[in-house]
Structure 1
Amino acid sequence: MIEFQGLTVRMNANVLIDGFSFSVTPKMRIGLVGKNGTGKTTLFNTILGRLEPDKGEIQIPKNAVMAEVAQEITNTELSAFEYILSGDEELVQLRVDELKALEEGDGMKISDIHTRLEQIDGYRADSRAYQLLDGLGFKAEDYHKKVKEFSGGWRMRLNIGKALMCRSDILLLDEPTNHLDFETVVWVEDWLKQYAGILIVISHDRDFLDNICTHIIHLYQQKATAYTGNYTAFLRLKAEKLAHQQAQFEKNEKVRAHLQKFVDRFSAKATKAKQAQSRVKALQKLEDIAPVVAENEFAFSFQTPDRLPDPLIRLDEVSFTYDGAHNILEKINMTITPETRMGILGRNGEGKSTLIKMIAGENSPTAGNIIASEHLRVGYFSQHQVEYLNLDADPVWHILQLDKETTMQEARNFLGSFGFHGDKVLEKIAPFSGGEKARLALAMIVFQKPNLLLLDEPTNHLDIEMREAIAMALQEFEGGVLMVSHDASLLELCCDQFVLVANKGLTEFKGDLDDYRQYLIEQNREANRAEKKSPTNQETKTEKIESTTTKSKRQLDREERKELQTELRRLTRETEQAEKRLGKLTEKIAKIDDVLGDPTTYDTKSPEEIQILNDEKLTLENEQLTLEENWLEGSAKIEELNDLLDINN
């Protein structure tokens, strides 16, 4: 439980959050949203105790364990596996204590340690750590590589894994998807849905917020406002709230004008003095409602390319290798035209970025041919694009380097369309935020009027408004687009076909992103089920039964057969009950969807009633997810037990 009571937070002299009260309970997954500078990170630091609130308080149980994703990794000699495992500090200490107790021959202490290890599921800790490494995209050969050997992006993944390894009650995540690919984001989403504690996440990834959040806290104009539901529900409820606020403001202004007119006309007349005075009191009592002020919307557009050759570029039987011995990509054939709108999918390490770099001309193919039009002009945005900026130079300097004939005023005007105004265009970019640097890098690409855009994670560090602006601009762009992104919303809005990079090849993915996400989730859950079934040295009775099913060639004795038949009846009963309940849940969710999908609902129901419907749907969907997991596991066990009993008939 986290209790915010009249919380007021300042940064220097600026009030960021004023008088916020809200109760957060376990299993709440809260998305913290708002423009940059509204206080999201400051609120995180206040929850963590690094900052003191100016007024009010945050009440958190003293024994609550909090985990966060560190922004940096200090020098360490630990391997990736050891670093992930260190997220469970109690486990690490218990293992140290166990070695010491063994050396001292302290049997009582050893027994206590083993009891505690069993209580915290410590005997499966190594397996959980390996599962986290795998889910975060690390290959088996990287598990025991030193942390210092990994690049910055991979170190951030290790920090995420360490935070997830901690058996925390409260988990704080600040932009967790920035250094992940789409496949890893799906895995993290699925993991977070199972998290039993309180999750608070800062993210500009709309799809990520939609998929995991049960509540949204919006920071705006020094206020923190809590909404029930995911990000899409928040947008709907906020729009309704603002519409109601504006309507009430306009109504009050009409009443105010009418009363004031009466006061001005009759206040000097003795016969009307009493009535005028009553109108003055009515004016004083009239609720002071502020007008709705629209948030600044950012928009830009790509310039029309000078030429649009068709095709733009073609790959014929292209292969690529880094070491000369092992191909990353093999015999790739691809034709890109001005109409191409392609999203590139595939697990990390399969070659997505390598393919983009070859098309961009940064890598030369080891075999095959790349045939580009003489009028091809590529706009390439890599996931490390901001690292190529000159930190000691200003935005205007970067634009002038692209075209010496551009005037200072033309450069300033162009940068203004990307949110760089006034003296900002003449400031060194070293202290700029990650989002500002990404905006400048994007502006430089747009300035060059490309006819082919190659975008490799273009939305890292960008806020939701900027991401939506990119999506709108890409829909109007007249050239070809190839995109690698973990932002599902951007992919869905801008791509009309998807290709999957896997097993050194390139194949068209027939479904949409929902199909791909479900495919990934099923793969991940199947791997988790297989991992859970592996026997440990602390097997429970059920685990013993499961391990017995793997010994199908051995004849079972009478007691074992009886035990298995009892277990089979129990599992059959539970799966049948789960199946019936799933059917009822599906019907209930469909009925709520029908109501929420009907435009008249928002005319006939209040925002509070709509919130109740969203709450009910979310509860039903969470129960549905748990039941589906149990049903799948139960069905798999039933099949195994039936096979084993058939063999022993």
Structure 2
Amino acid sequence: MLEIRNLDYRVEARPLFEGASARVSAGWKVGLIGRNGTGKSTLLRLIREEIAAPGKDSPIRLQNGARLGWVAQEVAPTDQTILDVVLEADAERHALMQEAETATDPDRIGDIHARLLDIDAWTAEARASEILMGLGFTTADLSRATREFSGGWRMRAAIAGALFAQPDLLLLDEPTNYLDLEGAAWLEGYLRRYPNTVLIVSHDREMLNRSVTHTMALEHRKLTITPGGYDDWLKLRAAKLAQLESQKSKQDKDRAHLQAFVDRFRAKASKARQAQSRIKMLEKMQEITVPIAERTLPFSFPEPETKLSPPLLEIEDAHLGYGPQAVILKNVRLRLDPDDRIAIIGTNGQGKTTLVKSIAERLPLLAGNRKVPKKVEIGYFSQDQLDELTEGDTVLEHVMRALPKDTPVAKQRAVAAQIGFSHEKVETKVEKLSGGEKVRLILGLIALAKPHILILDEPTSHLDIDSREALIYALNDFPGAVLLITHDVYLAEATADQLWLVKDGKVAPYAGDLADYRALVMSSDREKAGATKASADPAEDRRRNAQARDTAAPLKKKADAAEKSFEKANARIRTIDTELARSGLSPQKMTELSIERGKLEAEAAKAEEAWLMALEEYEAALKESAAS
């Protein structure tokens, strides 16, 4: 299906591939692994011919006639429904359906309908619905316009389109970054049943163990393929490394023995021939090299400065949400103690993020009581915070603001190094950092506050497997409470000893473990979603969805207005940055522009927060209205 032969490729002066070769057979499900920055996404771009490998003959060959498919970008925000967008992903079916409406030649009409029958076109809507609902969409969502969904949901729709099209070789680059635990579990099962070949870049250890038949490792600019999942590859690599070390140890002893003979007898005429023979043996001896293990930078969450007696936090009889019209969770009662390790589970849209935002005081309680000691410190991480880093500022400037004002520069640099940023990297502007580096910076800044409670909402989306392992060690060493939302089953199982289930407007402890929960999701909820492939009354569905949109229209206007304010402030900031970059600007004008920029940054931050909150209110109101 796919052959890579002696691939050489570099980005500027940095080589990514040197004589890399691999062969993927039809039907294989291959997990592509490697550290961040080694070139995994670049390899997918080379396969797609989005970028070209040097040389006349391409080192990458796809089987003749094979259809290649991938997730190019999120679905565009238009008036087209999510279901229709996914159906159009099957280009052949879409073209035939359109032609069938205009064709007049009886023979051609017969050919069209025969081909539609061959490609199972008449079950397409049911199959597309099943995929969308497996990825977390509801029945009501299928008839909603794509513009009504956030970017993350439109990316899920793009993934659904790629799966529905069923290309001969499907390329997926970190698809679980956009999924919750339930969606990731569904995708694992779907990939196992997928009839064609898959090449998936993933750092999700459990997905790689459950859904792939082979593992392709990118290490030291080479590619190797081994049968089995990630854990199988780890065992084979460890065995190979042990064998190499043993062979190198033996070779070093042989080399030392030969060299000792040469050094001792080279000057003696009677032994000169033997010495010369051993010199030739030394020259012919091929050096056995043991690959140097790359060091993973650790994470660290220090002990809080003040020890507090339990409970660290209590919430009693609380309603949580985004206003009186958008109550997501009701009568919430919970308590956090210093030794709690809790993973929050529940299908998407049930309110997991609403819960942790409320605990972290990012959202006010709509009703009820919140009790916390005055000195309690809460560290909160979410994917939204990646955008809260100040564009144009360096890593060092972010660290500097998190430390006391009188901290010496040398100390600031030392702290940045402890977080994981070298002497050269601290001067990098945050927009130039990779996703994993941004996560590391934010977690490092959180750690500087020495929190009593760590709340992490999908912290691993941009981390490679080794960095996720390092995060597990850090969380297990942390002496405070941990609340975790994650689609990474391995991380959750390795750190959490309690589960909280968020479902049907309630939060409650879950008695089983993650394996029980996965089995429950796959055997009940997802099957029900898959079985609800078409409404018995499409007209009633359309009426109900239209009514839901009308009810939520004021919230949509509120979200649109906040988005426009956010975009307007950012547009002016970009203009100011251009002006500040001009030469010959007077000090007075520079000061005026800098002051204006600071005010606009504050306005943009408030507008963005209002926009995101309004969008969540709108989506919650849509779901509530559609369900009623």
The TM-score, its normalising length taken from structure 2, stands at 0.81
User: Is the Cα–Cα contact under 8 Å of residues 341 and 496 in structure 1 kept in the other structure?
Assistant: yes
Any gaps of 5 or more consecutive residues in structure 2?
537-628
Give the corresponding residue for 2:576. none
Where does residue 462 of structure 2 map in the other structure? 461
Q: Judge conservation of contact 2:134–2:526 (CA < 8 Å) in 1.
A: no
What is the one-letter code of the residue matched to 1:456? D
Check whether the contact 2:213–2:228 (CA below 8 A) recurs between aligned residues.
Answer: yes
Q: What SS does the corresponding residue of 1:306 show, helix, strand or coil?
A: coil
Residue number in structure 2 paired with 1:36? 36
Check whether the contact 1:10–1:53 (CA below 8 A) recurs between aligned residues.
no
Contact 1:308–1:338 under 8 Å retained in 2: no
1:295 matched residue in structure 2: 294
- Equivalents in 1 of 2:274, 2:313: separation in Å? 81
Alignment partner, residue 134 of structure 1? 133
Aligned partners of 2:200 and 2:145: how far apart in 1? Answer: 29
Relative to 1, partners in 2 of residues 1:302 and 1:182: Cα closer, same or farther, differing over 3 Å?
same
Pairing 1:366-445 to 2, within 5 Å after superposition? 366-403=366-403, 404-445=405-446
Greater relative CO, 1 or 2 (CA 8 Å, sep 6+): 2
Aligned to 2:461, the other structure's residue is in SS state coil
1:444 CA displacement = 0.8
**Structure 1 residue ranges without an equivalent (≥5):** 536-649
1:18 alignment partner AA: E
Match of 1:83 among 59, 68, 85: 85
Alignment RMSD (CA, Å): 2.0
Q: Residue by residue, what CA displacement relative to the aligned partner does 1:54-106 show, whole Å, maximum 9, x if unpaired?
A: 466222123111111123445654321222112111111111101112xx4x3
SS at match of 1:63: coil
Please state how far the C-alpha of 1:156 moved relative to its aligned partner: 1.4
Q: Which amino acid aligns with 2:484?
A: M
Equivalence map 1:544-559=2 (5 Å): none
Give the match for residue 173 of structure 1. Answer: 172
> Cα distance 1:345–1:320, how it changes in 2: closer, same or farther (>3 A)?
same
Q: CA deviation at 1:143?
A: 2.1
Q: Is the 8 A contact 2:323 2:366 kept in 1?
A: no
Aligned runs of 1:3-14 on 2, under 5 Å?
3-14=3-14
CA distance in 1, matches of 2:530, 2:186: 14
Residues 440-495 of structure 1: CA distance to partner in whole angstroms, max 9, x if unpaired? Answer: 11111001100001111111211112211111000011111111111111111110
Aligned-residue offset at 1:5: 2.8
Quick check: 1:4–1:59 contact (8 Å CA) kept in 2?
A: yes
1:291 offset after TM fit, Å?
Answer: 3.1
1:321-362 deviations in whole A, cap 9, x for unaligned?
435245310111111110111100000010100000110111
CA separation in 2, counterparts of 1:427 and 1:5?
A: 36
Output the CA distance in 2 between the equivalents of 1:370 and 1:114: 63
Task: Indicate the residue corresponding to 2:70 in structure 1.
Answer: 68
Contact 2:77 2:148 in 1 (8 A): no
The match for 2:96 is 94
Asked if structure 1 preserves the Cα contact closer than 8 Å seen for 2:32 and 2:217, the reply is: yes
CA contact (8 A) 2:133 2:530 kept: no
Cα distance change of structure 1 residues 529 and 76 upon mapping to structure 2, 3 Å threshold: closer
Aligned to 2:306: 307
Residue pair 1:395, 1:428 contacting (<8 A) in 2 also: yes
Which of 171-180 and 290-299 deviates more?
290-299
Q: After superposition, give the CA deviation of every residue in 1:10-56 in whole Å (9 maximum; x if it has no partner).
A: 33344322333332122211111112222211211121123333466
User: Which residue of 42, 61, 82 maps to 1:59?
Assistant: 61
Pairing of 1:133-212 with structure 2 (within 5 A): 133-212=132-211
| SS of alignment partner, residue 178 of structure 1 | helix
Structure 2 equivalent of residue 273 of structure 1: 272
- Return the alpha-carbon distance in structure 2 between the equivalents of residues 392 and 271 of structure 1: 74
Q: Distance in 2 between matches of 1:17 and 1:307?
A: 50
Q: Secondary structure at the match of 1:450?
A: coil
Cα deviation, residue 426, structure 1 = 1.9
Quote the offset at 1:225 in angstroms: 1.5
The 1-side partners of 2:530 and 2:453 are apart by: 44
* Whole-Å separation in 2 of the counterparts to 1:349 and 1:316: 23
TM-score w.r.t. length of structure 1: 0.79
Checking the alignment, whether the CA contact within 8 Å between 2:129 and 2:530 is kept in structure 1 is no
Contact 1:396 1:408 in 2 (8 A): no
Q: 1:144 to 1:16 in 2, by over 3 A?
A: same
Q: Cα distance, 1:179 vs. partner?
A: 1.7
Once the two structures are overlaid, the 10-residue window that deviates more, 375-384 or 54-63, is 54-63
Does 2:494 match 1:480? no
Note if contact 1:190-1:521 (Cα within 8 Å) is conserved in structure 2: no
Structure 1 pair 422–326 and aligned structure 2 pair: CA distance change class (3 A): closer
SS, match of residue 177 in structure 1: helix
Matched residue of 1:422: which SS? Answer: coil
Aligned counterparts of 1:65 and 1:414: Cα–Cα separation in 2:
50
Question: SS at 2:200's partner residue?
Answer: strand
**Cα distance in 1, alignment partners of residues 443 and 389 from structure 2:** 11
- The code of the aligned residue for 1:150 comes to F
Find the residue that maps to 2:255 and give its secondary structure.
helix
Q: 2:486 and 2:478 mapped to 1: Cα distance?
A: 18
* Equivalent AA in structure 1 for residue 357 of structure 2: K
1:149, distance to aligned residue in structure 2 (A): 3.1
* 1:358-409 residue CA offsets vs partner (Å, 9 max, x unmatched): 1011111222111111121000001211111101111121122223243322
Match of 2:583 in 1: none
